[in-house]
Each structure stands twice: as C-alpha cells, then as structure tokens.
Amino acid sequence: MKSFYVAANWKMHKNPEQTRKFFKNFLAQVQTRNHLIFFPPAANFESCASSLLGSSVKWGSQNCYHLAQGAFTGENSLQVVKEMGGTHALIGHSERRQFFGETGELLAKKVKFAKDIGMIPMLCVGESLTERDQGKTNQVLSEQLKQGLSLQTEGSNLMIAYEPVWAIGTGRVASVEQVQEAHAHIHQELNNLGMTRTPVLYGGSVKADNCLQLARLEGVDGFLVGGASLEVESFLPIAQVQF
C-alpha cells in the first residue's frame, strides 16, 4: 500500500474557537493510516497546536518568510511555527503567486529556508486555464519546479502539490487523464533532479465523491483540500480514503 497524504488548506477561514471545535469533533471520529496535515491561518496556530497535541495529525503554515526573524512587518516566522509544534509549510500556493505576486525566485528561498530549519515544504505548482488551453501545461510545471527547487539539492522531506489553477475552488476537478499526465510529468522532472521519493499531491476541488477515483491513480500520493476540508462531515471521507 502506498503512503498517502491528505492535507487541509483552510485559507483565511475559522477563528480559534471554531478551530478547537473542529478538532474535537474530527479527532473523535477519524480513523485512518493516511498522513494528515492541516494548514490553518496564522491567527489559529495556537488553537491548532493545542488541539493536536498528542495526536499523529500534523500541521503547518500556509506561507512563510525566508528568514527566522527581523523587521518584516506582517510576516510570520516559520521558526516560531516549528517551536509551536508545526512541521510543514505550504509554499507557492497559486493564491500567493496570483494575489501577492510571489515569484519563483522568492519561493526557492522559502523552500530552502523551510528545509534548512527542519520543516517540510509543500511546494505548489499548477497551470492557469489559458496556459492549459495553449498546450503549455508541462512547460509551466517544469518551470515552476525548476525555479522553486533551484536552491534545493535533494528531495527528502519535501512535498509537491499539483493544483491546476482552474480547478481550485471552482468545483471543476481535472479529469483522470489530466491528473495522471501532470503527475507523471512532475514525477519525471523530480526523477531528473534526483528527487525520486518526493510525494506529489493533487489539489483542486477534491470532494468526498471524487476522492476515491483520484486516490487510485498512479503518481497521486495524496490530496491538498481547500473547501471540503472546512467541515468535519465533508473532510472525514477524504481524510480516511482507502483504496
């Protein structure tokens, strides 16, 4: 059986009380061998950390800066996330690239910093609809991987999330063929970089009713789930997917 990872990206949702309530309910029900990781917004790190204390469920930040501390108003220190018990850092989500202008060069520094301090970066890559329509999907994926991993020399403790931008939050999930093809391409690129064992997660409108079919695909090592991760009822079947 392959190791399977299910990550929840809560984006800018929930307050500390809702976070505690979610985990109380979720932990009372969840039974799975899948590896689970939550990315709460920064204001909920404390409630997330205390709720998950003693459980095997991991958590991390949705973004990070590439230095441990300093005069960087508005940023959150990944070093502090680590001290609080966090283990992962989501890096280069398409919303960060699109709305906050994050470049490949900056993302490479973030990936390196996360690894340097012993956190696990999850680098997100994915094409826009225009890029897909223009037949540039593989080219875009290769470029984003090359840039994001440019300061990176090996692939342990590193994860990749393939998230076609047009499938995020739209309810429009990529077809089985599209997912398979993109994952094969990403794995190939990672092999070329000597990062053979890097898990590649799929993200983009993963729901209870499509997760089993997607989980069975070769090259899909897990999911990054947005909307469907916000409620226990909608997330449990995905978190517990078994194939």
* Chain residues in the site for ligand PGA (CB under 6 A): 9, 163, 168-169, 203-206, 224-228
Residue 8 or 119 having the CB closest to ligand PGA: 8
CA angle 222, 233, 216 (to 5 degrees): 25
Strand partners, 59: 38
Active site residue 35: no
Catalytic residue of the set 93, 183, 185, 187: 93
Active site includes 185? Answer: no
Comparing CA positions, the residue from 212, 89, 75, 243 lying closest to residue 161 is 89
Q: Which residue is nearest to ligand PGA (CB)?
A: 226
Least distance in angstroms from the C-beta of 132 to ligand PGA: 16
Min CB(98)–ligand PGA separation in Å: 11
Judged by beta carbon, residue 18 or residue 50, the one nearer ligand PGA is 18
Complex with ligand PGA: residue 121 or 204, whichever CB lies closer: 204
Least Å distance, CB 163 to ligand PGA, is: 6
159-162 vs 120-125, strand pairing mode? parallel
Q: Does residue 18 contact residue 47 with C-beta atoms inside 8 Å?
A: no
CA distances from 100 to 42, 92, 94, 142 (A): 17, 10, 9, 22
- Residues acting as catalytic residues: 93, 163
